[in-house]
């Protein structure tokens, strides 16, 4: 089953929730919707499922127009972060419910339920009611029910947010394989760039109801087509500074100059925007050419193996991600460094015009 959105848009009371989007999701594919809260991920999923009807455009399944077909007449499974289970039923019956509706043989139902329960580590809880479970266990029940349904389209809206770290990591690895083997189109919404990278497949970056870029996940991460996509697909967000090129030199906001080499040497002279990821903003000067910035330390977040140092550079707020424990004094002024080879460069419309060599697809 191939799902195609053909210039689909959604407007509610004059407010555009989804700007026109065209994309095709292939059978057996994993497709991540990545964006901050209120970027339109759930709204787009509801259009895919048939829970909402687009204001314009068409939804096609294998080339058939199903735009007006309600969700009850589509083979769709959907799991929300806010898990939904039947409180009067046991865990077993919750998982089995879509199969009983379809009239599946009881022996086959039992086999499928126990397989799904084993995967979600629910075997000891099959006779319990949902209200006797923890939030994570209830979410695993909802995931198991989606798994046994054998749907053509599986929509997971931040489904692992309520799970503990260990189980979340296990399921991130297992879920894509499980649903890929089923041949379903698999759509997974998340606010976390790291989760998108761990899941792989394809990614659709979303911002204020727009799909800014859709493609293979690692390729989009390495080559964001514009500054908005770069902001969405970076955690913490990408840092930016104004830059100009004059002849063979790059000049930054405070007059720092470095030679324009590699792909940067081919840029036309003029004003542009330079971006660099937090892990490329260094507290220690690297070897070779580097741009130094004088910044004021705002706060340090120490995770143990890494430190996030938040700094202010003029009106800009940057984050440097560094290994180990680094805790410069709050309010102090320090130098941070960027290797020009790690710069993303955007034009005056914020479209990508140069990327690091390692970012080549």
- Reported as a single tens digit per residue, the pLDDT across 180-236 is 677 789 999 999 999 999 998 999 999 999 999 999 999 999 999 999 999 999 989
Peptide bond into 65 cis (omega under 30): no
Predicted local distance difference test score (pLDDT) of residue 179: 63
Rounded average pLDDT over 321-346 = 93
Residue with tokens 């309010």: 331
Q: Count the neighbouring beta carbons within 10 Å of the beta carbon of residue 78.
A: 22
Task: Give the separation between CA 317 and CA 324, rounded to whole angstroms.
Answer: 22
Helices (H), 55-104: 91-102
* Two structure tokens written together for 32: 């991540």
Q: Is the pLDDT of residue 170 over 80?
A: no
Predicted local distance difference test score (pLDDT) of residue 358: 60
Residue 220, Cβ density class (10 Å: 0-12 exposed, 13-18 middle, ≥19 buried): buried
pTM passes above 0.85: yes
> For residue 102, what is the enclosing H or E element?
helix 91-102
What fold does the segment set 3-229 form as a domain? Answer: Rossmann fold (3.40.50)
Task: Give the separation between CA 248 and CA 262, rounded to whole angstroms.
Answer: 11
What fold does the segment set 238-359 form as a domain? Answer: OB fold (Dihydrolipoamide Acetyltransferase, E2P) (2.40.50)
Rounded average pLDDT over 154-159 = 89
Rounded average pLDDT over 18-42 = 95
How do residues 70-108 score in pLDDT, each as one tens digit?
888 898 988 887 777 899 999 999 999 999 988 999 999
Bridge partners of 25, per DSSP, are 3
Length of the chain, please? 361
Predicted confidence band at 158 (pLDDT cuts at 50, 70, 90)? Answer: confident
Rounded average pLDDT over 301-330 = 92
Residue with tokens 């809880």: 125
Domain ranges within the chain, ordered by starting residue: 3-229, 238-359
Comparing C-alpha atoms, which of 243, 265, 222 is closest to residue 355?
A: 222
Phi then psi for 119, rounded to 5 degrees?
Answer: -65, -40
Distances in Å between the Cα of 297 and the Cα atoms of 104, 276, 334 are 63, 18, 7
* Two structure tokens written together for 267: 């840029």
> For residue 309, what is the enclosing H or E element?
strand 306-313
Task: Give the separation between CA 255 and CA 296, rounded to whole angstroms.
Answer: 18
Percentage, residues of the chain above pLDDT 70: 98
């Amino acid at each position: 089953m191939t799902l195609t959105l053909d210039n689909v848009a959604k407007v509610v009371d004059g407010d555009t929730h989804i700007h026109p989007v065209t994309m095709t999701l292939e059978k057996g594919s994993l497709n991540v919707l990545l964006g901050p809260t209120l970027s339109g991920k759930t709204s787009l999923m509801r259009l895919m499922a048939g829970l909402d009807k687009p204001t314009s455009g068409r939804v096609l399944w294998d080339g058939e127009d199903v735009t007006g077909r309600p969700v009850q007449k589509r083979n769709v499974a959907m799991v929300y972060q806010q898990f939904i289970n039947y409180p009067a039923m046991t865990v077993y019956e919750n998982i089995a419910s879509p199969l009983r509706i379809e009239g599946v043989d009881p022996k086959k139902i039992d086999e499928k339920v126990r397989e799904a329960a084993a995967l979600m580590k629910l075997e000891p809880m099959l006779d319990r009611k949902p209200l006797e479970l923890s939030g994570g266990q209830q979410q695993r029940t909802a995931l198991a029910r989606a798994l046994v349904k054998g749907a053509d389209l599986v929509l997971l809206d931040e489904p692992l947010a309520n799970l503990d770290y260990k189980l979340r990591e296990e399921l991130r690895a297992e879920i894509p394989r499980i649903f890929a083997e089923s041949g379903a189109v698999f759509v997974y919404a998340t606010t976390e760039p790291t989760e998108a990278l761990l899941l792989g497949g394809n990614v659709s970056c979303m911002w204020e109801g727009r799909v800014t870029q859709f493609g293979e996940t690692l390729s989009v991460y390495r080559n964001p087509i514009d500054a908005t996509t770069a902001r969405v697909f970076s955690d913490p967000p990408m840092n930016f500074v104004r830059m100009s090129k004059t002849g063979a030199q790059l000049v930054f906001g405070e007059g720092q100059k470095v030679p324009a080499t590699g792909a940067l040497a081919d840029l036309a002279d003029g004003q542009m925007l330079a971006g660099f990821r937090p892990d490329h903003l260094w507290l220690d000067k690297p070897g070779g050419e580097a741009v130094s910035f004088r910044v004021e330390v705002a706060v340090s977040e120490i995770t143990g193996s890494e430190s996030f140092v938040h700094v202010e550079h003029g009106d800009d707020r940057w984050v440097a991600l560094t290994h180990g424990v680094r805790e410069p004094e709050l309010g102090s002024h320090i130098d941070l460094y960027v290797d020009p080879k790690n710069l993303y460069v955007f034009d005056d419309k914020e479209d990508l015009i140069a990327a690091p060599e390692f970012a080549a697809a």
